[in-house]
Amino acid sequence: MIAVQSLTRHFGSIKAVDNISFTVDKGEILGFLGPNGAGKSTTMKMITTFLPPTSGTATVGGFDVIAQPLEARAKIGYLPESSPSYRDMNVFDFLMFAAEVRGYDGDERLNRVKKIMETCNLKEVAYQQIDTLSKGFRQRVGFAQAFLHDPEYLILDEPTDGLDPNQKQEVRNLIKQMGREKCIILSTHILEEVEAVCSRAIIIGEGKIVADSSPEELRSRSKLHGAITLELIGVDVKDALAGLEKVQFVDRVTDLTPSAEEGGSEKNGKKVIRLRLYPMSGKSIAHETASFVHQKNWQVDGFTVEKGDLNEVFYNLTKGGVAR
């Protein structure tokens, strides 16, 4: 377990991290989420013993990061925001060097390097100079050095920043694979990252924890959660609005139909209208809406139950608003 207890860090008069506490268990992938400057990287550096806290502490596998920093470091695989490597070395030599620094020698050193190169798909560039690699491959090298000693705890700071979509997917698959057996903290400001790989998310704003929950629960705080986006063919907008506003548990209905200039569509010569129904707090309106549309015998082109907008929740929590 990683346990963070009242962790605080000042830089002069600036309080970068403000009395935060949380725990992360084995088999859990925690997304540590916040805007730039919120205190994410500072927190990661304190947990990994690279930066001393002003007050508070953290333990990694039972070892205190202040009183027992070497023991704590031995338990951690750390990928900082800028992936570390000696770029004038080739991949194989760099990983052999990293294994030696970790205390491995002989056959064990070689076997660990071969194994991690296979895990991180680096065999094809084993003897290529790191400086000539694409950013995606350089990030894989960073992962390899972090995973080399098979650590129980992984701290990953912005692991997919700057990668293309294919590279991001490869890295996310690797994190999910590792997350089955390890305790992982993934620091990011990318919301889709959290939704893609994390079982839990902490949102930090101005150095304080403002939310700690699953991505699904956070989405449920969105005003869009449970809303229905409805597309109808050949139905008059005014008639549809008047009727749908009377459906049980519907709070309000808005017209999202684009004009012809905005790219409005037609099917079989009939206009397609697009409406959004918002439920009353705590209510579901999918069944009632579907029943009403069926009774009216309206032709449906789309019926979507919205999961909620994590971007909206994130913005409200980190900009002083209230996510509902």
Query: What are the pLDDT digits (tens) for 111-129?
Result: 999 999 998 889 999 999 9
Q: Are 132 and 138 in contact (CB under 8 A)?
A: no
Mean pLDDT of the 290-295 span? 97
Q: Does domain 2-219 fall into CATH 3.30.70.20?
A: no
189 or 227, which is more confident?
A: 227
* In the chain, where the domains are located: 2-219, 228-306
Does 253 have pLDDT greater than 90? yes
pTM score: 0.83
Which phi-psi region, left, alpha or beta, contains residue 61 (left: φ > 0; alpha: ψ -120 to 50)? left
Q: What is the DSSP track for 188-227?
A: ES-HHHHHHH-SEEEEEETTEEEEEE-HHHHHTTSTTTT-
CATH architecture type of domain 228-306: 2-Layer Sandwich (3.30)
Q: How far apart are CA 221 and CA 214, in angstroms?
A: 11
User: How distant, in Å, are the alpha carbons of 9, 12, 44, 186 from that of 39?
Assistant: 9, 15, 9, 14
pLDDT for the residue numbered 323 = 40
Query: What are the pLDDT digits (tens) for 195-232?
Result: 989 999 999 999 999 999 999 999 999 999 999 999 99
Q: Which two tokens stand for residue 156?
A: 């990953």
Does 42 have pLDDT greater than 60? yes
Q: How confident is the model at residue 320 (pLDDT cuts 50, 70, 90)?
A: low
Q: Are 164 and 142 in contact (CB under 8 A)?
A: no
Characterize the bridge pairing of strands 228-233 and 270-279.
antiparallel
Helices (H) and strands (E) in the chain, counts: 11, 15
One-letter amino acid for residue 218 of the chain: L
Q: Which residue in the block uniquely carries the two structure tokens 């919120």?
A: 38
Fold match between domain 2-219 and domain 228-306: no
Stretch among 62-66, 85-89, 219-223, 242-246 having the lowest mean pLDDT: 85-89
Nearest to 134 by CA among 114, 171, 164: 164
pLDDT for the residue numbered 324 = 32
Query: What are the pLDDT digits (tens) for 128-185?
Result: 999 999 888 888 899 899 989 999 999 998 888 778 888 888 888 889 988 888 999 9
Q: Which two tokens stand for residue 26?
A: 């084995």
